[in-house]
Chains A and B, each alone.
Chain A
């Protein structure tokens, strides 16, 4: 009997999740996972933020808490707090900015793509080369006919942000109405961010070339420990009157609420009327996919963002996470220098956030996995959250070993 499913292509397992599965199955005592983009404490364990624990206890004890449907737009207190956080207090009051709760950052990116494809009909969407693995799939799902284009971003020769390359390509090849996806801070996967002057130039470019900037903001507070610093670029763009833009905001990392899928999408338009209509369009997208967003995680975030004491505790938790990662960067760098590992490694210190394009090749990454049970993406992306004082020496010496080993081998054709 033929099945309606018979003609399917076999879907391929997502690389990052596939690697997680492999790493989990590996029982070698030195096994080290440096692939998944989740925070780990100094013991290498998942970390529920103390402020989150506190709020969960409050909610658990509160007899008025229930599981009623949220409005399609989401939890109103959550959205108020989310707006203030990423837009700044003044712009948060601007009725020309419309906001909706989404299923984390993925959902926000997905919803932005659907909205922009419908409203802008852009010829192309531009991603940094490289970018978060899922950006391309999300846009492909929103419109399989849209051109996906890549602006230069990572220069492997000097391991730096290729600002000139980015500007040149957009100047020469972009068209008015194109969407350009920007990482607000802590670029995933490279860890390289533009300087403030470079951000100013990028903003000018977007205005001049009539591009629609879509910020992916997944690390506010998590990157530097400073909420203002990590949203500087967004706020600079918002300061450009009349520039319409979008912000896909995730609370997965900065609240450690990964699995609760907490996010928001903000669209800055030119007037309250336009914003209102966009809001209805966004609500229709939500309604046609999942009706209303999940309540629990947003309630936790709303509680923190709207309470001064809890907010202050959250900032301490952000400092805990960001400074541990900064220490691990320093620790890894110091070890590689001590071992006199061939190559330059100072980019480890100048990059920011949980990820680093550490500078190993795909072949070296495979060797690290097969010989040293160290798991990182074959792109060379390392999740520094996987480093601890206990394993950083082993990781450094393993990198040292594979770098030296591949230096003496012929490059496979």
Chain B
């Protein structure tokens, strides 16, 4: 059968979809051979030499699990990992003491959000609307719309800060009973988190409108250096106000286990029986998507959390990463002040976590890439973790030039 006689492809009707922009940024950065290149695109931590960092606590844990086997984990994942993660995220909370938390190991944060969405459907929760911030992590919309949810964006950011008024007004007008995706801390991509007072107001609106919080928690510990502090919003909603919720946890950033896909999805239910039932629902949705989750990373994380001297090292590692990032924020800001770069750059030190919105224009972003080999998201988001003492001056000067030369 020669090529001209092939029947048309069954895939001809499928429509082309442009790939996720941020992956292209990484691809282009890797292909660039210029020695001055700077990657402030992808959200992965880099050490002071711009290299991936294997956390000392992770190294210690890898020694312990070096000879582990590869037998299938239960569908719900490694129990030790699930339990220790729940103890970590919900420490001191009534929901934990009252055994009202359902948990299931997931493929990192993405997988946790997926399982949460699938489980809420399977549970016939009646939730059809999902509210996300605008802007938000580039995958929230795809994730939830692919599952068939109606996704609405609530305005979140303006002029370098959290636009609380616009957000709360939009929340008040949004449909009751919606699921609301909240960034527990270190909002991606803006770095702008609500204050505690603002969280309280958000919670009050959500309570009134019987909205269901989904806490996307990818930076617990990575943000402030202390997990307990970073989990404040969860405690307030779940412990003080008694919300039912989903808390989606990831160890990608906080343990540097990115590619190993280490996460846990949880549901806080109003009773222990309901939590148990949600466990069975989670098991069901996991079985039909991946069967069982990968154990290597979960084994490492469980060992870190459960071994006192390794857990202590991890607490130190979190401080190392978060304080290096905070330090870079300060250095970048100081450099821009020194250069007298036009504009107010204080948002760089006011924002928190791995990311920040610089607020520069598309043209300026292109200029930075073409002239200075600086790679960042086309939204003006930068990953502060990509800066270090060797490149922060260069980056500041490049930014300064872009702001002055291009509009």
Contacts and interface: CB of A to CB of B under 8 A. Distances in A.
Contacts, number: 230
User: Which of B8, B12, B16, B296: most chain A CB closer than 10 A?
Assistant: B296
Contacts of A134: 287-288, 291
B259 A70 contact: yes
Given A71-B23, A277-B11, A4 B291 contact: no
B31 interface: no
Assign chain B's interface to a size class. 35 or more
Contacts of B1: 240-242
A10 B287 CA distance: 15
Contact of B17 (A119, A120, A280): A280
B250 to A, nearest CB: 10
B108 A283 contact: no
Interface stretch (A191-199, A284-292, A335-343): A284-292
Interface residues of A, number: 76
Interface string B251-277: 000001111110000010111001001
A69 interface: yes
B252 to A, nearest CB: 8
B181 to A, nearest CB: 15
B288 A110 contact: yes
Contact of A4 (B8, B58, B123): B123
Contacts of A370: none
Interface stretch (B70-78, B359-367, B370-378): B70-78
Interface stretch (B138-146, B167-175, B336-344): B138-146
Contact of B123 (A5, A17, A67, A141): A5
B91 interface: no
A293 to B, nearest CB: 7
A358 B283 CA distance: 30
Contact of B7 (A10, A52, A107, A210): A210
B297 A119 contact: no
Instruction: List the 10 shortest-distance A-B pairs measured between CB atoms, nearest first.
Output: A295-B259, A290-B107, A106-B291, A294-B294, A242-B6, A11-B284, A291-B110, A11-B280, A141-B288, A296-B296
Given A274-B12, A296-B294, 8 more contacts: A5-B123, A5-B244, A7-B126, A14-B75, A67-B257, A103-B294, A107-B289, A241-B1
15 contacts: A3-B270, A48-B69, A66-B54, A67-B258, A67-B297, A68-B52, A141-B288, A258-B70, A270-B9, A290-B110, A290-B261, A291-B108, A294-B294, A296-B294, A297-B70
Interface of A: 1, 3-14, 17, 36, 38, 46, 48, 52, 56, 60, 66-72, 103-104, 106-107, 110, 118-120, 134, 137-138, 140-141, 177, 210, 212, 240-242, 244, 256-261, 267, 269-271, 274, 277-278, 280-281, 283-284, 287-297
